[in-house]
Amino acid sequence: MGLLALTFLFPSTVRAHRVTPPAKGSAVATNQLPTDESTAVKDPDEYAVWSAVLAKKYGGYLKLVIRDRTAMYVPDPIARQWQNSEHDTEAFSDLQAKNKAQSVLENKFSVKLPCILMTGEAESKLFPSTPSEPKDKAFIEKVQSSWKQFYEEYPSAQGILTISRVGFNSDKSEAVVYIQNVASLMLASGKLFFLTKKNGSGKFRRKR
């Protein structure tokens, strides 16, 4: 199976890199990190960062569907490339530390379009589990049907977003976040976003 055919199964796949698939999980993403269900993200600065990126990157859609727990699905080869590079900053170190476990999101995004938090239960009902054996034609067709149903239930959505916890430097003047979107069987992407806080405004804007 080609790389693009795997992206719907393993959203940590970034198009230019081949990764080793995890053994088993959801057809949309594989949960390999523990989730503290009792701990929701409360920091308003994290929601400010997420909102700034979502509004800029996905503001052209009519609604956003976001997984209700944080995660950072980054293939090991890409993570190693980030180490000892321009990305390896104080904020990036905080990003890595915070994303060793998943956290629960609340719908506190400050964007004009509706944001829908998708639970793991809702996701599992839509998408079949990923078998450990090679994926056959019937499985592929089932996932295609699942995506069709997804867009019937969430018309004009961008796909399913997975967002990481936000890493900050010590005075929270700089931030970094990883956001990934899976839009279909053949389309997935993920990116690091760097932001800075406007002086005195409390608002964040894209750095690059």
Name the domain count of the chain: 1
Vertex 88 angle, CA 87 and 90, to 5°: 110
How many CA atoms, within 13 angstroms, populate the side-chain half-sphere of residue 153? 15
Query: What is the structure's pLDDT at 88?
Result: 66
Contacts of 17 (CB under 8 A, 6+ apart): 75, 77, 78
Each residue of 27-69: pLDDT tens digit?
444 345 555 555 899 999 999 999 999 999 999 999 999 999 9
Residue 77 to residue 82: CA distance in whole angstroms: 9
Q: Which two tokens stand for residue 132?
A: 């450990």
- pTM of the full structure: 0.78
Residue 144 to residue 148: CA distance in whole angstroms: 6
Range of the domain at 65: 3-206
Q: Is 202 helix (H, G, I), strand (E, B) or coil?
A: coil
Residue 116 to residue 193: CA distance in whole angstroms: 22
Residue 197 has pLDDT above 70, yes or no: yes
Q: How confident is the model at residue 200 (pLDDT cuts 50, 70, 90)?
A: low
% of the chain with per-residue pLDDT over 90:
53
Residue 26 to residue 111: CA distance in whole angstroms: 28
Residue 129 has pLDDT above 90, yes or no: no
Residue 51 to residue 54: CA distance in whole angstroms: 5
**Interval 176-188 mean pLDDT:** 93
